[in-house]
Amino acid sequence: MSNHLLEVKNLRTHFASGGGIVQAVRGVDIHVDAGEFLGIVGESGCGKSVTMMSIMRLLAENAAVKADSLVFDGRDILSQSEKTMRSIRGNEIGMIFQDPMTSLNPLFTVGNQMMEHLRLHKNMTKEQAKARAIEMLTTVGINEPEKRLKQYPHEMSGGMRQRVMIAIAMCCNPKILIADEPTTALDVTIQAQIMELMEDLKNNFSTAVILITHDLGVIARSCSRVIVMYGGLIMEEGSVEQIFYEPAHPYTEGLLRSVPRHGIEEEDSESQDKGGEAQTVERQREKLIPIPGSPPDLMNPPAGCPFAARCEKAMKICKMAPAQLTEVGEGHRSACWLLHSQAPGKDRER
């Protein structure tokens, strides 16, 4: 039996639509251990959020979710009843959604929503739930928690609403916290505070965190391991150091080229001469290099690597069949035919 807290093998999620079947997730393996901070990164529409919503069983009726296995804490998620899943969701697996304004009910006060959550999952009295709500609002750095309990979501700032969402997600001490773009639309200062808060909660409660984002800067600051997704598949997986400094897939390289490098590479200012300073300034002025083209149509996904049409290193075989995830180093895997390019007959051709 696996020692992983969560282990997913060969997850496939399809959506029925008027135009056909959208193959949003096409065979994904993911695991997370207790107390781990895992990042899942990729462009919009690559399957990050759908993967997590599939695990939580929160998708609409037009979704079909299949997996060879989907095990959380020794239990098969796919075989659980909806009643059991309601107990798992919010209690053992917490989730922070991208937009707290649409996730919080505008008709009820923050206190009502927090206390209802606690009474449902922890069978607390009203007094116990209120005390716990105040405790969690204090934990996430909200001043005057008793006053905030009486407020409605629209009376709070975006950063404060996001903190409330984290407090709700953490109030039952879940084993896993899934954060879907938790810093979107927040200013840089609030972003840093939210990520620091999640790191503190992970350290204090030994909660595993799965961070879904397109922001590589957030990944670099917070995560220990990273999964890079594209076209409903995993392109690369490894530690933060491996992904940022030893990328083994052209898509990962493209993502890294398309974000500012300032802050990722630092030099010792005391040892810099004028030439070194000029080189640093020149690096900071380098233009970002966007990835050309568009993501694949997952209603008609390509037969080969989903990134082949946008990849400057693509070979014939890349368009014929997807590469399997291959070990590059310890804990580092990449799904790229370049890793097998020494084999005969694999000449490059766009």
Domain co-membership, 200 together with 52 = yes
* Helix or strand run (H / E) with residue 280: helix 274-285
Please give the residue range of the domain that contains residue 239: 233-260+274-340
Domain co-membership, 217 together with 71 = yes
Domain co-membership, 145 together with 72 = yes
Where does residue 27 fall: left (phi above 0), alpha (psi -120 to 50 degrees), or beta otherwise? left
CA distance 6 to 108: 33
Q: Any idea what the CATH number is for the domain that residue 145 is in?
A: 3.40.50.300
Q: Give, rounded to a whole angstrom, the gap between the first and last alpha carbons of the chain.
A: 44
In a domain, 73, yes or no: yes
pLDDT in tens, the chain (350 residues): 568 999 999 999 999 999 999 999 999 999 999 999 999 999 989 999 999 999 999 999 999 999 999 999 999 999 999 999 999 998 999 998 877 777 899 999 999 999 999 998 998 999 999 999 999 999 888 999 999 999 999 999 888 898 899 899 888 889 999 999 887 767 788 788 888 888 888 888 889 999 999 888 889 989 999 999 999 999 999 999 999 999 999 999 999 998 765 444 443 344 344 444 444 444 444 577 889 899 999 999 999 999 999 999 999 999 999 999 999 999 999 999 999 864 444 444 44
pTM: 0.86
Helices 158-170 and 188-205, packing angle to 10 deg: 10
Helices 110-122 and 158-170, packing angle to 10 deg: 10
Would you state the pLDDT for residue 185? 67
pLDDT digits (tens, 9 = 90+) for 68-78: 999 999 999 99
pLDDT digits (tens, 9 = 90+) for 302-341: 999 999 999 999 999 999 999 999 999 999 999 999 998 6
In a domain, 265, yes or no: no
In a domain, 228, yes or no: no
Would you state the pLDDT for residue 183? 77
In total, how many domains does the chain have? 2
In a domain, 148, yes or no: yes
Domain co-membership, 193 together with 242 = no
Distances (CA, A) of 37 to 118, 119, 283, 337: 25, 29, 30, 29
